[in-house]
Structure 1
Amino acid sequence: MPKAKLLAAIAGKNRGILATATDRQAILAAITELEFHNPHPRPLTTAIDLLAGDWRLLYTSSQSLLGIDKFPLVKLGTIYQCVRPTNNAIYNIAEVPSLVPGLTGIVAVVATFTAVNESRVNVQFNRSLIGLQSLIDYSTPDRLITAIENGQKFTAIDLPINRKEDKAPAWLEVTYLDETLRIGRGNEGSVFVLDKG
């Protein structure tokens, strides 16, 4: 079973932090195999209800995400990608536990998306939020998203993201989607494997 094979390949790799070059090759092969069995090849038109929700990152090859783990005194915690099709929004939320008590952080990026075709969206990153979970009153991704959507101000580094006009748009393609698993490929060549409990 391709899905079980992929889940076995990424098990114990800490979202990719512990993956060796050989592991990454095997995982990419398992991802490619599973993509051939995609039950929803047109997710933006035929399975938008499955795409919606709070997805937890199981594996990525994105070094910019995995690099958070290299900062001193912190570890990369759970990462969520929360998709809200009703307002074309994506919220990337990384929990960042600290080795220093009371300094557990949160990094959130707010983006909007526009469908390019039935499986790919262009992504416009709009806002970044970096702060301590205690000062933001963070408990769950859904609660943070509700606060953001309600215009709440946060005691945090809260900045707009301005992408240069001459730069090609960021994009994300959904290459596999079922009720509990999603695979995406991004414009920088990264792959993402996420689950929805």
Structure 2
Amino acid sequence: MIRIVLVDDQALFRAGVRMLVSSQPDMDVVGEAGDGREALEVIGRTCPDVVLMDIRMPVMDGLTATAELLKLPQAPHIVMLTTFDLDEAAARAIQQGASGFLLKDAEPEFLLAAIRTVVSGASVIAASATRELFAHFTTETTPVPAEFSDLTDREREIFELAARGLSNSEIAAREYLSEATVKTHISRILAKLALRDRVQLVVFAFEHGLV
């Protein structure tokens, strides 16, 4: 059972999401909060797998609450909720370690799929969307870490394609590889660079001027 906490200052929005999530046999809403400070208390008490976190709230905003949660040894997967396609706060949350972001007007099926996706360890937004987000907001780069030199030539090629937003199937077609092989390469790249998922790969590429 996937345990979920809803954090949003709009009770009506929370009620709608709760009804949707509760209709699923593999999901359970174990708590709700109307601001970031309340969220920290509720999450500490309920230990959810996934937190749906609004960005703009009174008392403590979602960005601040996310930063606090990600300090925990067993931090939940955090999905930011926003009304803006290109949201600088969402970009900052992803840099901190959030699993991605969703628009509040996303289709119900997409929201449910996103919850299941983050629990599996993947990101909840397309890498191309992340690329657009960071291309828009990243203005400064930092030196490339030494770990990047550990990548093989083939891994660097696949890293660049993934950072540009190509899916595994698109990379496979371009590089004349099987999707399984591409997936293996991506897993090795993430491990060598100590990155959690493809979203973090895109963030890494933009932060270090690699795309």
* Larger relative contact order (Cα-Cα within 8 Å, sequence gap ≥ 6): 1
TM-score normalised by the chain length of structure 2:
0.27
TM-score normalised by the chain length of structure 1:
0.28
The answer to which structure has the higher helix fraction is 2
The answer to which structure has the higher strand fraction is 1
